[in-house]
Amino acid sequence: MSKCEHCIVRQFNALKELTTEELERISKCKSTLSIKKGELIFSEGEHLKGIYCIKKGVCKISKMSENGKDQIIHLIQKGGLLGERSIINDEVTNLKATALQDMLVCFIPKEEILKDLHENNEFSLGILKGMANSLKNADNVIVNMAQKTVKQRLAETLLFLDTNFEKTEDNKLGLQLSREDIANMIGTATESAIRLLSNFKKKGVISLKGKEINILNTEKLKKIARGF
Amino acid sequence: MSKCEHCIVRQFNALKELTTEELERISKCKSTLSIKKGELIFSEGEHLKGIYCIKKGVCKISKMSENGKDQIIHLIQKGGLLGERSIINDEVTNLKATALQDMLVCFIPKEEILKDLHENNEFSLGILKGMANSLKNADNVIVNMAQKTVKQRLAETLLFLDTNFEKTEDNKLGLQLSREDIANMIGTATESAIRLLSNFKKKGVISLKGKEINILNTEKLKKIARGF
DNA sequence: GTATAAAACTGATAAATATCAGGGTATATA
DNA sequence: TATATACCCTGATATTTATCAGTTTTATAC
């Protein structure tokens, strides 16, 4: 099994603050899970026994709303951590994590993380910075959800997928989502999302081929996101 | 000027993790500000020179959206901290803080907080726990904004004001907001918020007298929040 | 107290979005 | 290959919400 101290992925998260000794200790008790597309990493209300560090693949983090829709709150990819919040506050998870692609995920037991949080202040601060950043993003999402139209939010989401995820060789969006997932990201009915995608296509802003989306006119998409 | 080590308010936030010596040091360099209702504590894009600890009064935290509306993201009262996020990530603020009542707020210089964050791990963890909790709340707000109707969100907001803020002697909501502020909390037009309030009043769920709101039927309000 | 401005309210209408119903298309499986 | 199933798409319609225009009420300043 590969070793944490040689794993490049930790550079993207707070684990980079750990010393070599700490990494070696964690390396010994971590396990690497292979998770197939569509499988659950954890579900809402679960009592997590550790945190997850994503080595490969993308997952969606969602929460069931009372009307039965599964709102996607964010997407997490290589280098992302899952479950720190539940561990820190010793609470059951409030969110569900589902693989959108085949994934490799490392599981680190709770006790090890808590030990390092208490003994390595730089690590605590690293986690803190990550969380401060997540909170800023969450605030932005709240404003967008509250104030923007569905059309604006779809445009923003496409731009988000464009800038934050790897593209295919022919420059299309690399992360392929179902129409339902897209709708659940922007908080609308699947039919509405489909209609707006067709609308964007008709305007020549994007092209569609099944789940493949190609952004043809980024500037126009930005204008739509701003409300024009 | 009153001293931090005797201030009861710190029990509500991470400052409770500081040692007596640390508190005494902070006490010497903190300043207490008196802020009148309607005044700004800080605005979006400002470079904060420290954090604020609220001793008395309530303020709104908001963010301007591109369409010119000021979305209220949360309300903070006695014991709340402001500005930690900007200090931790060394960024300009992404939010604006405005007093909703006459307030007393203590300002603690950035350097002092950073010193304690680096030297007292329990303090870092305290801040971390607070932030983890904020993040959980933010996730819930996102789901509500994305999936619930304006009517449901208004009902939730009234219940939130009911459970989280002091009531008046005659059991009315103690925090009085303008109709515009209410609309900006739930993310709708002021007229829509007014119409729905009248609607709730007509149904006998609440009574209205100017800015005074009295919840007459909590159970019914909870049902409305759930979508009935 | 009166003047003035700001906030609260109401109605009419337009625009955005959800819902329901049905058909088409791709994809997996036997 | 056939069949089932999930996903995608479209139209018609209902509902929700925003916008605009105007009136009334309340708060504020003189």
pLDDT band at A3 (very low <50, low <70, confident <90, very high): confident
Residues B20-56 pLDDT 10s? 999 999 999 999 999 999 999 999 999 999 999 999 9
Give the C-alpha separation, A60 to A68, whole Å: 17
Give the C-alpha separation, A134 to A17, whole Å: 18
- Give the per-residue pLDDT at B66: 83
Q: What percent of chain B has pLDDT over 90?
A: 91
Facing residue for B69 by CB, picked from A88, A145, A147: A147
Joined tokens for residue B125? 């963890």
Q: Are B218 and B205 in contact (CB under 8 A)?
A: no
- Give the per-residue pLDDT at A53: 97
Q: B133: helix, coil or strand?
A: helix
Calculate how close chain A gets to B138, using CA atoms only, in Å. Answer: 6
Beta bridge partners of B98: B40, B60
Residues A121-142 pLDDT 10s? 999 999 999 999 999 999 999 9
Facing residue for A139 by CB, picked from B66, B94, B226: B94
- Identify the DSSP state of B168: P
Residues A173-212 pLDDT 10s? 999 999 999 999 999 999 999 999 999 999 999 999 989 9
Q: Which residues of A touch B (CB under 8 A)?
A: 63, 65-67, 69, 71, 73, 84-85, 88-89, 91, 94-95, 117-119, 121, 124-125, 127-129, 131-136, 138-148, 186-187, 226-227
Footprint of strand D on the protein (CB under 7 A): A 178-180, 190-191, 194-195, 197-198, 208, 210-211; B 67, 149-151, 187-189, 191-192, 210-211
Q: Report which of B79, B65, B57, B69 is spatially closest to residue B8, judged by C-alpha positions.
A: B79
Residues B75-127 pLDDT 10s? 999 999 999 999 999 999 999 999 999 999 999 999 999 999 999 999 999 99
Residue B68 has pLDDT above 90, yes or no: no
- Identify the DSSP state of B59: E
Q: B174: helix, coil or strand?
A: coil
Q: Kindly identify which residue of chain B lies nearest to residue A183, measuring between CA atoms.
A: B146
Residue A147 has pLDDT above 70, yes or no: yes
Residues 142-181 of B with CB under 7 A from strand C: 178-180
pLDDT band at A1 (very low <50, low <70, confident <90, very high): low
- Mean pLDDT score across all residues of chain A: 94
- Give the per-residue pLDDT at B63: 96
Q: Of A59-63, A82-86, A104-108, A166-170, which gets the smallest average pLDDT? A: A166-170
Instruction: Give chain D positions with protein CB within 7 A.
Output: 7-12, 16-21, 26-27
Residue B3 has pLDDT above 90, yes or no: no
pLDDT band at B213 (very low <50, low <70, confident <90, very high): very high
- Give the per-residue pLDDT at B200: 96
Please give the helix or strand (H or E) that residue A78 lies within, else none. none
Q: What share of chain A is helix, strand, coil (3-state, %, to 5)?
A: 50, 20, 30
pTM of this structure: 0.95
Handedness of CA A215, A219, A222, A227 (dihedral sign): negative
Q: How many other CB atoms are found less than 10 A from the CB of residue B177?
A: 20
Residue contact A94–B147, C-beta within 8 A: no
CA→C1' distance for B197 and D23 (Å):
19
Residues A29-39 pLDDT 10s? 999 999 999 99
Burial of A61 (0-12, 13-18, 19+ CB in 10 A): buried
Q: Are A6 and A32 in contact (CB under 8 A)?
A: no
